[in-house]
Amino acid sequence: MQQPKAEMQVNKIPSRLTIDQTMARADVDLKSAPMRIEEAAQQGHQDLLAGIARRAQEGEEMMKIENGGGAIARQAKRKSETPQYDFKIGWIPSPGSVQINYDPGRLDINWRVNKPIIDSRSHQPMINYDRGNVDINMKQYQSLKIDFDNLNFIGINYEQTI
């Protein structure tokens, strides 16, 4: 009789937690060099387009004499005024700027139980005995004797002598 061992395979994909705080760091002005370069390039491109649009609009304004003139004075007044900025209360870092992602992972357990190997054959019983004689005799027969000291049986009573 044999019992082969069970076979088990365990495949584990570990869990993974990622915390991206790039946006939170950018909110408190702790930006990386590539991020600062990209922002500066975008701001430069937007400023370029805004400058082209402003010059085109000013040229259109100066070109239209039929609007009553004074275009240069209006443009000078617009350029001399300081822009008004809106003040807003905000949270630093902004809500939701920290990105948290969790992948719980996976655990696969595959097992196989091997059945026992039993190699058995039935045999007829083998009985060996010798015929012989049986002698029966009693070594000791039963007997009982009771004796009491200073106790005599008289009639139906007992009498004790001292």
pLDDT in tens, 49-103: 999 999 999 888 888 877 777 888 888 888 888 888 877 777 778 888 899 999 9
- Is the residue at 148 inside a domain? no
Q: How confident is the model at residue 162 (pLDDT cuts 50, 70, 90)?
A: low
- Is the residue at 121 inside a domain? no
- Is the residue at 124 inside a domain? no
- pTM (global) more than 0.85: no
Number of compact structural domains in the chain: 1
SS3 content of the chain, % helix, strand, coil (to 5): 30, 20, 50
- Is the residue at 78 inside a domain? yes
Check residue 70 and give left, alpha or beta (phi > 0: left; psi -120 to 50: alpha): left
- By residue range, what is the domain housing residue 36? 7-112
